[in-house]
Structures are given as C-alpha cells and as structure tokens.
Amino acid sequence: MNFLKKIVTNFLVFEARRAVKKFKPVIIGVTGSVGKSSTKEAAAAVLESRFSVRKSSKSYNSEIGVALAVLGLNTAWKNSFGWLMNMVDGFKISLGKKFPHVLVLEMGVDRPMDFDKLLRIATPSVGIITAIGEIPVHVEFFSGPDAVAKEKSKLIRSLQSDGTAILNFDDEVVWDLKDKTKAKILSFGFGQGADIRASNYKIGIEGIAFKVDYAGSSVPVRLKNVYGKQHVYASLAAVGVGIVFDMNLIEISEALQKYESPPGRLKLIEGIKKALILDDSYNASPLATHAALDTLSELEAVRKIVAFGDMLEIGKFTIEAHKAVGEKTAKVADYFVTVGPRSKFAAEGALAAGMPEKNIKSFSTSREAAQFVKELVKEGDIVLVKGSQSMRMERVSLELIAHSEDAEKLLVRQDNYWKNKE
C-alpha cells in the first residue's frame, strides 16, 4: 500500500508542479503550529473579492495534500479508483487552459525535510507564519522546538527579495525568524510595534469586533459567529495579504465579512438543553489549547465545562504541557472532563490548582466522555471541546449538538471515512 501511495503521490506532485510552471499563479504559503486553516480561509476571503482564488481544501498541507490543493482535487481516502481518477483529472488540469490567478496553500510539517518537499511543488511569493509557540505541535519528531521553527522558517527563507513575509509579531518564536528572509516583512499582532495592529478587541455571543490599524489608517472589523483572538490573528494576516495585493483597508474589512471559521476551530454551536458548544475539536497543541481556554474565559455562561482529549506529538513535553492545561482549566471552568491516558496529567494539574475532585472526571474514550457530558450539561452552560485529531473529540460535540442534521456542515470528520474509523 505504501508503494502505491508513493506512486500516486509522485504522479500528483509531477502534475501540480507542471500546472504551477505553466500557469504561474501567485502563490501564498501559510505555515505555523496553529492557525493555518483559519488564516488560509481569511486570506482567501479577502482576495476572492477581487481575484480568482483557489485555496487548500480542508487541511490539505502534506506533500500529497499540497499537490491536491494546487490541482483543486479532493482526497480519495482508500478508494483506488478514486485515486486513479485524481491522476487522470490532474493530467487534464495541468494541460488545460483555465487556472486560478492565486493559490492560497497550507504548508505543514511532521518531520525534518518535509518543507523541502512542499517547496518543490510550489514556491510562494508571499509567506505567512501564524504562530509556533514554545511547545509546538509535531515537536515529537524533531530534536526540539528550535528545530521545528527552523523547518518552518524554510517558507520565508525561500522567498525572493520582491516577495513578502507576513509574520506574527506577538509570537516570539515567529518574530525571531525575521532575519531569515531577504523578502519585505509585514508584522501583525496586538503588540505595540506591529505593522498591522489590532486594538479594541471585544467578544460576545454574536462574534468578535476589533479595529485594524495600519500606516496611520484605521478600520473597524466585525466578524459574526467567529470567536477568539486566534481569528483576529488570522484576520490580521489576511489584511497583510490584501495590502500586498494593493487593496485598501476599507475594501479588506468589507471582504472579511465573508470569513467563516472552519469546522472544529472555535465554532460556537447551539447545544442540547439550551446549552452552547465551543467546538475546537479539530486538533490540539499547548498553544492552541491555552488560546481556547482564554476564549472560554471571555464568554458568559452559567457554568463552564471543558471536555479535553490528549495532546499528541509533543514528545518529552507531554507531562508538563498537560499539567499546565489542567492548572489553567481550574481557573476558568467549573467542570473538567478528560479523555485519554495523557490527559490524566491534566486532571492532576486541575486538582492541584484547586478544582474540586468531584468536578473532575476522566475517561478512556471520547464516546464514554460524550455520554457523561450529555448527562452533565444544563441550560446556560458552555462546553469547550478540545483534543488532538486521533482522540476524536468531535464525538463529544456530536452528542451535544442541538441539530444533528447540521453536523456535517458544523463539525469536523463527519464523512464516511472518519465515521467508519475507530
């Protein structure tokens, strides 16, 4: 099977490279440990108001994922005929006459040298680094956090002098990379000194509002049904992209009205018993989990419940990172429900930080946790659901969602492949 996968990957990579060489689209690359999908969606929302844009579908950010994204194709999962059709369609696309003007591509890494494979497919002229943090996701296969940052820095190292690096000013690890590129730099963040700066941030049940300041000008931005500072950062990076394409702040602000947070990224969903679900179940890293807890702390509720699954691929940082999540949860939530062996360290952290033992419950699987939370939840509660992909925490959200018929639209991993996978 691995041999066949390699053949398919090589074929699609060849077709994607040929398409890029023939059509010469403007390529925007997005990397980071968190926020890639949200930033990709925000950047595409801004540019689609003026240009023909193709963006990565879902979170296609591996070698085969980037090739599929370039060609505008979808994964066929374990369907051999589907992959054959993808190769045929890719061949047609690479020889065709129509192609988007702009590609917005997520670029992810799991292991050293992964970025080299991605850059062989598509070399961006605009590179965005969202956030990395002190304990990045996927650090398990690297010598340490510095090695992860070095691998991701290849995005901006590859930029030419006429390109633009859009960097998170508030993330020390990202901002320390600014000297690694010869391209123009645009910084974004809340901090004084950022080129594109957010201020007056407010959050409520309706969504978030903030001001964007750039080069002496300022515009208000309101995003409905979008929650958390993570989406402010995604929007700020998208403002940077708009600036690169000579769009003015008013035009960019209006375009951002079409931005929607992707499923599983801090979606506030109507739940059973007139409760609310803050669904952040796509994946989890220490940085993203703390950000989700910050968002939970900003929202009003009768009671706050955290359903939290293991954070994977953080190697030697596993124990301390989980304990830190528990300690923070004790400060912002009333109940803590954990899933998986690693999350027991989070439960210990919450207990040590003063959360009553009766308010902490640990389970082996997300299905078990889902049934418990379903009984626990009451009117006026908000339930934050968070965990790494393989912990399948979306199953908790699925049990709590008020309108199950909308699950495919609102939640991650609702296609047959995931539903049939344990």
Residue appearing with tokens 């018993």: 273
Using a pLDDT cut of 90, give the percent of the chain over it: 91
136, pLDDT greater than 80: no
Helix runs in 72-225, H state only:
80-95, 114-121, 145-152, 154-157, 172-175
pLDDT at 58: 82
Q: Looking at 258, 278, 293, which one is the last position of a domain?
A: 258
Same structural domain for residues 289 and 375? yes
Same structural domain for residues 203 and 88? yes
Same structural domain for residues 235 and 299? no
Same structural domain for residues 280 and 134? no
Average pLDDT of 305-323?
96
Average pLDDT of 152-159?
98
Range from 77-81, 294-298, 375-379, 396-400 carrying the lowest mean pLDDT? 77-81
**CA 194 → CA 81, 84, 167, distances in Å?**
50, 47, 9
Enter the tokens of residue 132: 């990395």
Range from 125-139, 203-217, 349-363 carrying the lowest mean pLDDT? 125-139
Same structural domain for residues 153 and 186? yes
Answer yes or no: are the C-beta atoms of 165 and 157 closer than 8 Å.
Answer: no
Average pLDDT of 167-176?
97
49, pLDDT greater than 90: yes
Same structural domain for residues 251 and 281? no
CA–CA separation, 61 vs 30, rounded Å?
9
CA–CA separation, 223 vs 308, rounded Å?
27
422, pLDDT greater than 90: no
Q: Looking at 203, 225, 258, which one is the last position of a domain?
A: 258
Average pLDDT of 161-174?
97
Domain that holds residue 51: 2-258
CA–CA separation, 168 vs 32, rounded Å?
10
What is the CATH number for 315?
3.90.190.20
Average pLDDT of 389-401?
97
Same structural domain for residues 347 and 198? no
Same structural domain for residues 328 and 354? yes
Same structural domain for residues 288 and 252? no
Q: Looking at 225, 258, 291, which one is the last position of a domain?
A: 258
What is the CATH number for 172?
3.40.1190.10
pLDDT band at 154 (very low <50, low <70, confident <90, very high): very high
Same structural domain for residues 88 and 230? yes
157, pLDDT greater than 70: yes
By three-state DSSP, how is residue 411 classified?
coil
pLDDT at 1: 52
As a whole number, the mean pLDDT across the chain is 95
Indicate the DSSP class of residue 274. G
| Domains contained in the chain, number | 2
Angle at 89 between CA 421 and CA 13, to 5 degrees: 75
Average pLDDT of 19-27?
98
**CA 307 → CA 102, 320, 390, distances in Å?**
39, 19, 15
Average pLDDT of 388-392?
96
Is this model's pTM higher than 0.85 or not? Answer: yes
Average pLDDT of 159-170?
98
Same structural domain for residues 44 and 192? yes
Same structural domain for residues 248 and 299? no
